Structure 1
Amino acid sequence: MHKSGLLLFAAQLALVSPAFAEANDDQSDAASTRPQAKPPVEVFSTGVAKGRDRLDSATSTSALRGDDIQKFGPRPLGDVLRTMAGLRVESGIGEGNNNYTVRGLPLAAGGSKYMQFQEDGLPVLEFGDLFNIGTDVYLRNDLSIAQIETIRGGSASTFASNSPGGLINIISRTGDVEGGSLQLSSGLDFDQKRADFSYGAKLGENTRFHLGGFYRQGEGPRPIGFDGWRGGQVKLNVTRNLAGGGYIRLYLKLLDDRSPTYAPYFVNITGTNSNPVFRSYPGFKLNRDSVLSPYLGPVVTLDENNRLAAFPISTGQHAVSKSIGLETQFDVADWTITERMRYSANSGDFNRAFPSSANTVSAFAASQGGAGASAVYASGPLAGQAIPNGSMVNGNGLLALYYVSYVRAHALDDFTNDLRATRVWKVSGGNLTTTLGAYYASQKLKTTWLHTAMDIDVNGGKTAMVDIISANGTAQTQDGYYAFARSTSLFRRAFDVDYRVFAPYGSINYHFGKIAIGGSLRYDIGRVRGSLIGADLGGGRKGLTSYDINGDGVISAAEKRVAYLPLTEPAPVNYNYGYLSYSAGVNYRVAEPFSLFARYSLGARANADKILFTPVVSTTDGSVASSRDKADKVRQLEGGFKFRKNGITLNATAFRVTADDHNVLNGSANRTDRSYRATGVELEGGVQRGRFSLMLGATYTKAKITADRLDPTLAGKEPRHQPDWTFTATPQVDFGRAAIGASIVTITKSYAQDSNLLVMPGFTTVGAFATVSPMDRIHLSVTAQNLFDTVGIFEVNQSTVPANGIGFARSVNGRTVQGSLRFDF
């Protein structure tokens, strides 16, 4: 329909335009609630030794101003990052735990393995792909954001640890611009009530502050029957300018927020593997509905101490973070010293429901209770009512077994400290910039994985639990619970591991005339200590027991499937690692508006929890025998050009990437140990003509698995979820008192699994905004996400079209429209 036109539109304009990525120095607000003059050059400071004009830097970078982010409403951060050039984001999971990568680097599992998320220049978590707790669960998009900077490849591997693919840096406002805003928002076709605030001012001649945050409550973008969104955050920073130059800044942040989690849901898959047809079932729309409902749960299971517990299904993603940070910059004997430090006490509970199987009423009942088994509602308004075999209950006639994962993050505390010294020397008519630095981090991983298994019907927003009764009257379930486990003891785990990282680093850059040549080195030294508990470790650890859950003195069939932790049989974790990263590049400023660059980089990502509970880590002494299992290397060759003149910018980068990956596929025990190669081109740019502006991005990638050490038959295949093309376009027209704009994201088709059989179709989503200011300092706006209610599929569990047509897929959320009223003061 409209997709082909948008693809052609984006592809053509990508050749002649893109991005307004202005950024001030790292002490200033890059955005405010009032119009500001554009900086004369595009300055970028993330992942480099010293902020400089992008045309003088041999890196691929992008930036998005806070004002441009907020025009489209208070979207989740993942939906914001989908619109940035060069990034590949699989959203639709919820506020957090979305998937991020860049340049064909694999998405074998969830999170952000190769790109590190930073907040004000320091990592939020040391590892971006911890199981069920991605970094973005501790980040929120609100009015406190000044801008977002991203660097892809390049010196990201040497100016941060565990970031060979790049960096995403969320930069806060710091009170440079006095005044503030209060914004009230409400969903127009979904349940959300939200208040955002932002205020900055002087506390004296040399001191300023900024205070910002939000609070929200409501069901969320999908009907679930209870408040999935509850909570918010507050961020405060205070800056003191020092005599003789420099500054010192204190950061404080409190995040306590709940949001629902969505998963692959029921979908009818027909057609052929190469041309499948995906249709929503009656009673369950893939991009709008959820299995979450008031009639599910609680999550009944044995807890981390093997005591009976019941956790609310409404927990969703409950992220709690309390952080304090200090940043200072000053000059000593021609050296500029920069010190950043932050301690974050991170914790929370995270639950999600994901499918195991689904079938017709009679077939599903027979699979659990044998021939002649029947089903009856165990919860909800129809509790106790039989579900006749062969009935088309809810219009689809389906029942399903769903696992509910409940991960308790007791402590993900993170301490980081980054100290660097930079000096610019005058050498033979040029500037020689030298930097020496030292980085230290301590990342705690203390979590427990708990599960339960429920039989449910397929009824979006009103899902109820179901009991299965065998033909002889024996219950195979208990109050809708099939097992108080994940059917087996799989993934009943407890982690108590501490990661320590020390990394000295340095760089040198010589800029003379039109040429800049530079290079950087980093050596990461890691120390990993701790213990694991879980039946997955093997040995004498059984993991399943019988337990009288309801206390009636009788052990039912479901009560024979109760998972527990073998607390007396821990396994140690005890290994060290070290790896070298380097990057070297050259930039040639051909003319004032035009430059060429080339760069080669080697980086790595230390393997964190994805190698725990695998044969890689010895259960006897906690050692890891092979150094290649401790960290995955990434090599990148890139080169391109940058152009900026008369309101037009265009940046193009060709790249070739090779990468290793040790991983465990989410929701399964399938391990991966692979190597990949990807080549492609990134295009980014923008154009501004009077009232009209346009930002554009396009990325072409061809990737393949070059080696699979566990399944050699996959060598030569394309990685799953890897589209050839991604396009982004953001046109806007500003009339002064009124403005309108759109945000368009297109991805082309890709394979559902690495076997390269079932194709996931490409799709386009469109966001839009319209704002009007009836009087000074008052702004009314209407924003929409997924305006055309597209069913855009990011994930399919099946590798081929299923014989019975019943599949599971995850889609982008359907259309949501909200209205906002903002007061500036």
Structure 2
Amino acid sequence: MGKTALLLFTAQIALVTPAYAEEGAAPEAGPKAAAETPAQPPKEIFSTGVAKGRDRLDSATSTSALRGDEIQKFGPRSLGDVLRAMAGLRVESGIGEGNNNFTVRGLPLAAGGSKYMQFQEDGLPVLEFGDLFNVGTDVYMRNDFNIAQIETIRGGSASTFASNSPGGLINIISRTGDVEGGSVQLSSGIDYDEKRVDFDYGGKLGESTRFHIGGFYRQGEGPRRIGFDGWRGGQVKFNITRDLAGGGYVRLYLKYLDDRSPTFAPYFVNITGTNDDPEYKNFAGFDLRKDSVLSPYLGPVVTLDQNNQLAALPIDTGQHAVSKSVGIETQFDVAGWTITEKARYAANGGDFSRAFPSNAGTVSAFAAGQAGTGATASYATGPLSGQAIPGGSLINGNGLLSLYFVSYVRARSLDNFTNDIRASKVWKLSGGNLTTTLGAYFATQKLETTWLHTAMDIDVNGDAGTAMVNIANAAGVNQTLNGYYSFGRASALFRRSFDVDYRVFAPYGSINYHFGKIAIGGSLRYDIGRVRGSLIGADLGGGRDGLIDYDINGDGIISTAETRVAYLPLTQPAPVNYNYGYLNYSAGVNYRVAEPFSVFARYSLGARANADKILFTPVVNNATGDVATRDKADKVHQLEGGLKFRKGGVTFNATAFHVTADDHNVLNGSANRTDRSYKADGLEMEGAWAHGPFNLALAATYTRAKITADRLDPALTGKEPRHQPSWTFSATPQVDLGKAIVGASVVGITKSYAQDSNLLVMPGFTVVNAFVQFRPTARIRMTLNANNLFDTMGIFEVNQASVPASGVGFARSINGRTLSGSLRFDF
């Protein structure tokens, strides 16, 4: 598959959607703009992660952009699915609307989220750290009509124009009412249950004032069979802009998000064959692409809460993200200096539940594992409640039972405040222009969360039929309570409370000299951090006990399951108290060989401050709260060089890179820490070809990565990092026939290893999404969308390190085929 992508590139290269910038924002599309947009824009101006927006052919950076209207052609999709098609990014989606995994250039994905790339909305981070446990940044971001453009910068000056972004930046740029008009779209799943309405409107309120408002609301079961409305909620965003008489502008942003969506974890899959050539198949009664353990027969999440009081929390919570933000942006000139000020306060919170596996086995083996020889099983919930499950029976066609942990994270506050002010001036010198920039960044990030768990015995049943199961020993004594195995995670681990404040201050500056065909530039940033707070949990050790007996059902008797009740040792907190500081720098040169062609080279050093992934680990001194210097931040070195070509309807960009990185992390769902160094070499390519009604965009990335040092498990030194394919690629062909547009998005990866031990292979896969859009009039669009058109089982994650002897494994796949239709009115 990788060779095919490369051959396609060398045969005919296609256009990446050009990036524009006006005051750092993209010009908007709409009914009027669609007719006026020129077929060949004169320049591609990029503004994210740089001092000033400039033509991409004059900038020593590797960048990409995607227009909002192009995104919407493929229907309502999560941001993770959208970004999978962008050049250079590696995205593990399929988890749900949020909490997907993002990285770039072989930088490791040892755990979830986006450690090395920062997500921004309109130039400011959504969360200061992109890999917070259970709450990734994309949890608080949505794909809707508010998006004018998505810009990404990989490497380059990203490390010096933003904090905690050594790998790059992903910036969601909002529409700002440049074009008068709006849209309303009604969408519905055809072979699944989801109803959605999207809207937006922008225009002028006067000669110098414009506004934009947009959002969506949705409700339904969603793309997997769960038996209830797992998707419900939406968001509204508003901004108003006042153009200043002397040039510049002032803009106010408002956002309200309140949205629920399920979280999908690794589920049951039959793994056979060899480690080098495994076969992944669905078990009877459970489709990895379309089913989930979620059902109306599970729950609630019975546990002790953050105050050690009995609570019953709804299992259908999923990812319930709530965010309320207000921001201001202004730009004006003073004595030849352009001053840009951006500030935003966001109140972020919500509850986040997910269910993930511990083990599974046949009815007899599973029951014996929990209650010894002669143990029996029976249904605790569902339509067969109270009925025995005979040992050896093939219930649901697969004959399996499983222990599942349900995690319930209460994010009481992930509030943050960010402020970025910079001043730039262009000095006219003999032979060229010298651009200087000075800036200062200040941010606060609150981390106030509590981890709660419960553990359930369940059957393996798809089609929203999963039920809870009781296990009794040979004497008939229940080892469970109404299907609950324990009221924690079967141990004292992972019941945690965080109350930590992060503060970041970062002065920065840059200089760029553009003379003739050459542009030379460099930038510096110094990040200063202050971390204060406290932790509570039995994981901290020191005599902290995390299990108690508790009469959950109030019958006056302590059953076996009620001896496994996790609680928080509230009287024994541990401090967090340390400071950090590190230097980031970047320098590059760009040579405009000819009008359509340029080459560049750049070297950068950036770092990422470690956040909650080092808390509850031995690197934090539980007596003082201090952290050793080398554990406070992880450095990333990048050497890159490339070429850019743009002429007529053809563009082509290619960047070769060499990356080294450090990583302190904790593997998802386990207590396993990592302390490693990595290196990666590779090549990013993107481009496009447009001719008449035809448009083809292509992107491919080749990466070879290696663990160069594992300080906790030396046996892994020299291994290839897990989940790292050699090739990622995408192709987006479209044909515009006037009244109709037909297009597709083809995204693929080659094989990779399930774990760092480099034994079990995860097969590569290709996913095809397609659309047909019919426009009977200029203001009406009817669209049919097909996501995963060929119903591919695309596996992003496998829990096992080798083929299991039982054949029972756990894997996470992308969603199966879904069809949706929409009707859009432009006005």
Whether the TM-score (by the shorter chain) exceeds 0.5 is yes
* Structure 2 match to 1:532: 535
Looking at structure 1, the residues matched to 809 and 108 of structure 2 have their Cα atoms a distance apart, in angstroms, of 24
Compute the displacement of 1:22 (Å). 2.7
Q: Which residue pairs with 2:613 in the alignment?
A: 610
The structural deviation recorded for 1:210 is: 0.1
2 CA distance for matches of 1:450 and 1:28? 41
Residue pair 1:14, 1:698 contacting (<8 A) in 2 also: no
Task: Confirm or deny: 8 A CA contact 2:21 2:47 kept in the other structure.
Answer: no
Structure 2 equivalent of residue 351 of structure 1: 353
In structure 1, distance between residues paired with 2:198 and 2:373: 57
Pairwise CA distance, 1:350:
0.2
What is the CA-CA distance between 1:343 and the residue it aligns to?
Answer: 0.2
User: Within 2, Cα distance between the matches of 1:7 and 1:451?
Assistant: 46
Question: C-alpha displacement at 1:776, in angstroms?
Answer: 2.6
- In the TM superposition, residue 93 of structure 1 has moved relative to its aligned partner by 0.2
- Give the SS at the match of 2:184: strand
Structure-to-structure mapping, 1:772-787, within 5 angstroms: 772-787=774-789
Please point out which of 25, 36, 42 is paired with 2:22.
25
Q: Aligned to 2:547, which of 540, 544, 559?
A: 544
CA contact (8 A) 2:5 2:729 kept: no
Does structure 1 residue 13 correspond to structure 2 residue 12? no
Please state whether the residue corresponding to 2:69 is helix, strand or coil.
helix
Equivalent positions of 1:204-215 (< 5 A) are 204-215=206-217
Deviations 1:230-252 (A, max 9, x none): 00000000000001100000000
Once the two structures are TM-superposed, the CA of residue 775 in structure 1 deviates from its matched residue by: 1.9
What is the 5 A alignment of 1:430-445? 430-445=432-447
> What letter corresponds to residue 24 of structure 1 in structure 2?
A
Q: CA deviation at 1:10?
A: 6.0
Aligned counterpart in structure 1 of residue 395 of structure 2, from 375, 393, 416:
393
Please tell me whether the aligned partners of residues 14 and 697 of structure 1 are also in contact (alpha carbons under 8 angstroms).
Answer: no
2 CA distance for matches of 1:196 and 1:558?
A: 47
1:419 paired residue number: 421
Give the Cα–Cα distance (whole angstroms) in 2 for the partners of residues 184 and 499 of structure 1. 42
Instruction: Assess if the C-alpha contact under 8 Å between 2:317 and 2:352 holds in 1.
Output: yes
515, 540, 543: which is aligned to 1:512? 515
Question: 1:445-489, CA deviations, whole angstroms, 9 ceiling, x for partnerless residues?
Answer: 000000000000001121000000111011000000000000001
2:555 is equivalent to residue 555 of structure 1: no
Return closer, same or farther for 1:27/1:608 CA change in 2, 3 Å cut-off: closer
Cα pair 1:22 1:30 within 8 Å, conserved: no
- Specify the alignment match of 2:269 in structure 1: 267
Counterpart residue identity of residue 700, structure 1: Y
**Within-5 A mapping of 1:236-315:** 236-315=238-317
Is 1:342 the counterpart of 2:339 in the alignment? Answer: no
Residues in 1 aligned to 2:212 and 2:51: alpha-carbon distance in whole angstroms: 26
SS of the residue 2:52 aligns to: coil
Q: Deviations over 1:632-680 (max 9, x none)?
A: 0000000010000011000000000000000000000000000000000
Q: Is the contact between residue 24 and residue 53 of structure 2 (CA under 8 Å) also seen in structure 1?
A: no
Aligned to 1:570: 573
1:68 Cα deviation from its structure 2 partner: 0.4
1:774: Cα distance to partner? 1.3
**1:57-76 aligned within 5 A:** 57-76=59-78
Partner in structure 2 of residue 144 of structure 1: 146
Residue 7 of structure 1 deviates from its aligned partner by: 6.1
Does residue 225 of structure 1 match 2:227? yes
SS of 1:394's partner is helix
SS at match of 2:161: coil
Per-residue CA shift, 1:290-328, capped at 9, x if unaligned? Answer: 000000000000000000001001000000000000000
Q: Residues 9 and 680 from structure 1, CA distance in 2 versus in 1: closer, same or farther, beyond 3 angstroms?
A: closer
Aligned partners of 2:759 and 2:356: how far apart in 1? Answer: 23
Contact 2:407 2:454 (8 Å CA) reproduced: yes
Q: Residues of 2 paired with 1:225 and 1:33: CA distance?
A: 38
Instruction: Return the TM-score normalized by structure 2.
Output: 0.98
d(CA) in 2 for partners of 1:726, 1:791: 17
Corresponding position: 1:469 with 2:465: no
Among 173, 176, 198, the residue aligned to 2:175: 173
Determine if contact 1:156/1:165 at 8 Å carries over to the other structure. yes
Distance 2:25 2:169 in 1: 20
Instruction: Indicate conservation of the 8 Å contact 1:253/1:322, yes or no.
Output: yes
SS of the residue corresponding to residue 68 of structure 1 reads: helix
Q: Which amino acid aligns with 1:480?
A: G
The answer to whether the aligner puts 1:37 opposite 2:15 as a matched pair is: no
Structure 1 residue 589 corresponds to structure 2 residue 592: yes
Once the 2 structures are TM-superposed, how far is the Cα of residue 29 of structure 1 from its aligned partner?
Answer: 4.4
- Secondary structure at the aligned position of 2:738 is classed as coil
Percentage identity across aligned positions? 77
1:14 Cα deviation after fit: 5.6
What is the TM-score normalised by the length of structure 1?
A: 0.99
> How far is the alpha carbon of 1:25 from its aligned partner?
1.5
Asked whether the equivalents of residues 85 and 684 of structure 1 are also in contact (C-alpha less than 8 Å), the reply is: yes
Please name the residue that 1:816 is paired with.
818
Cα RMSD, aligned residues only: 0.9
Instruction: Please tell me the residue identity of whatever aligns with 1:351.
Output: S
Q: How do residues 704-719 of structure 1 correspond to structure 2 at under 5 angstroms? A: 704-719=706-721
Tell me, in whole angstroms, the C-alpha distance in 2 between the residues paired with 1:151 and 1:16: 24
Residues 712-754 of structure 1 show CA distances to partners (whole Å, capped at 9, x for unaligned) of 1100000000000001000000112110000000100000000
2:505 corresponds in structure 1 to 502
Aligned partner of 1:324 in structure 2 is: 326
Shift, 1:11, TM fit: 3.8
Aligned partners of 2:26 and 2:520: how far apart in 1? 30
Q: Deviations over 1:590-614 (max 9, x none)?
A: 0000000000000000000000001
Q: What letter is aligned with 2:70?
A: D
1:669-708 to structure 2, matched below 5 A, reads: 669-708=671-710
Name the CA distance, whole Å, in 2 between partners of 1:409 and 1:376.
36
- How much has 1:179 moved relative to structure 2? 0.1
1:639 and 2:635 matched: no
> Does the aligned pair in 1 maintain the 2:21–2:53 contact within 8 Å?
no
8 Å CA contact 1:209, 1:236 repeated in 2: yes
Q: Tell me, what secondary structure is at the counterpart of 1:452?
A: strand
SS for the counterpart of 1:162 is: coil
Q: Say if 2:653 is the partner of 1:656.
A: no
Greater shift in the superposed pair: 7-16 or 52-61: 7-16
Compared CA separation, residues 451 and 574, structure 1 to 2 (3 A) = same
Q: 2:101 aligns with which of 93, 99, 102?
A: 99
* 1:725 equivalent in structure 2: 727
Deviation at 1:24, TM superposition (A): 3.0
Report if the CA contact (8 A) 1:358-1:400 is conserved: yes
- Give the total of aligned pairs: 820
* Distance in 1 (alpha carbons) for counterparts of 2:612 and 2:523: 29
Q: Aligned partners of 2:726 and 2:372: how far apart in 1?
A: 46
- How far off is 1:15 after superposition? 5.8
Cα shift readout 1:32-53 (whole Å, capped 9, x = no counterpart):
2331424311000000000000
**Maintained 8 Å contact 2:27/2:178:** no
- DSSP 3-state at the match of 1:154: coil
Distance in 1, matches of 2:120 and 2:241, equals 20
Q: Name the SS for the 2:191 alignment partner.
A: coil
Match of 2:131 among 129, 133, 148: 129
Aligned to 1:156: 158
Once the two structures are TM-superposed, the CA of residue 23 in structure 1 deviates from its matched residue by: 1.6
Hey, what's the Cα distance between the residues in 2 that align with 1:174 and 1:27? 11
Matched to 2:342, the amino acid is R
In the alignment, structure 1 segments of 5+ residues that lack a partner are none
- The 3 A distance-change label for structure 1 pair 9 and 632 is closer
CA distance in 2, matches of 1:72, 1:493: 40
Deviations 1:547-600 (A, max 9, x none): 000000000000000000000000000000000000000000000000000000
1:199-223: CA deviation from partner (whole Å, max 9, x where unpaired) = 0010111000000000000001101
SS in 1 for 2:138: helix
Taking the aligned partners of 2:26 and 2:183, their CA distance within structure 1 comes to: 15
Q: Is the 8 A contact 2:94 2:813 kept in 1?
A: yes
1:304–1:565 contact (8 Å) kept in structure 2: yes
Give the whole-Å Cα distance in 2 for the aligned partners of 1:649 and 1:14: 12
